[in-house]
Amino acid sequence: MITFDHLIAVDPGKAYRLMNLGATGLVSAEHNGVTGMMPATWVCPLDLSPTRATAVIAKDHFTRPLIEKSGYFAIGVPTVAIAKELFYLGSVSKNEEPQKLEKSGATFFTLGDYRMPLADGCLGYLIFRVIPEPHNEEAYDLFIGECVAAWADKRVYSDNHIDFSAVDPELRTLHYVAGSHFFGLGDEVKGLD
């Protein structure tokens, strides 16, 4: 897969476009050298300028206190190519398996000055600074973040748009249904205007 070799910086003001497809997100965080990552389907854009997003992270997830302590989280937008790794990351808790990331089969890296792990095989990566909303976080497990940096795979993303028309189907976004049931995003529909 080796997404890293194809990454380009994305204007954080346009980064919401990486999330507009409604794909499953890979949420990661880091604090004092401790890292966590988990798939989350309840992640979505919230605002355009600046790009803000929400993520629902339950209290029992290992990644949540890392977000609370560091004030940052990342969202990767995984592709079909890493469906097996994503499923493992969502089936195993680091609370019970401290070597969860190492055993997942995924390859990880970091970008810029941010130390949270990012999984190879995503079409985009967004770094968010938490906008503290204690009531929402406690009552609804809802975190709001403002995008401070973003990158995308230039094989899929150019001119601030995602285009799957000429790419390997493995590079399409992954969408969760239930259990072990996922879809890769289908074909574009054009000519409706």
Express each pLDDT in 10-39 by its tens digit: 999 999 999 988 888 999 999 999 999 999
Q: What's the average model confidence in pLDDT over 57-84? A: 96
Spatial distance between the Cα atoms of 107 and 9, rounded to a whole number of angstroms: 20
What is the per-residue pLDDT for 157?
Answer: 93
pTM: 0.93
Asked if pLDDT for residue 131 goes beyond 80, the answer is yes
Whether residue 48 has pLDDT greater than 90: no
Mean pLDDT of all residues in the chain?
91
> Which pLDDT belongs to residue 189?
64
- The pLDDT score that the predictor gives to residue 190 is 66
- CA-nearest of 4, 21, 16, 20 to 126 is 16
pLDDT 10s digits, 80-97: 999 999 999 999 999 999
Q: How far apart are CA 129 and CA 146, in angstroms?
A: 5
Please report the pLDDT score of residue 187 as a whole number.
67
Model pLDDT for residues 154-190, shown as the tens digit of each residue: 999 999 988 888 888 899 888 877 777 777 777 666 6
For a pLDDT cut of 70, what percent of the chain falls above it?
Answer: 95
Residue 1 has pLDDT above 70, yes or no: no
Phi-psi label, residue 31: left if phi above 0, alpha if psi -120 to 50, beta otherwise:
beta
DSSP the chain: --GGGGEEE--TTTGGGGTTT---EEEEEEETTEEEEEEES-EEEEETTTTEEEEE--TTSTHHHHHHHHSEEEEEEEBGGGHHHHHHHHHS-TTT-TTHHHHT---EEEETTEEEEEETTEEEEEEEEEE--HHHHHHH-EEEEEEEEEEEETTTEETTEE--TTS-GGGSBEEEEETTEEEE---------
CA 137, CA 147: separation in Å to the nearest integer?
Answer: 18
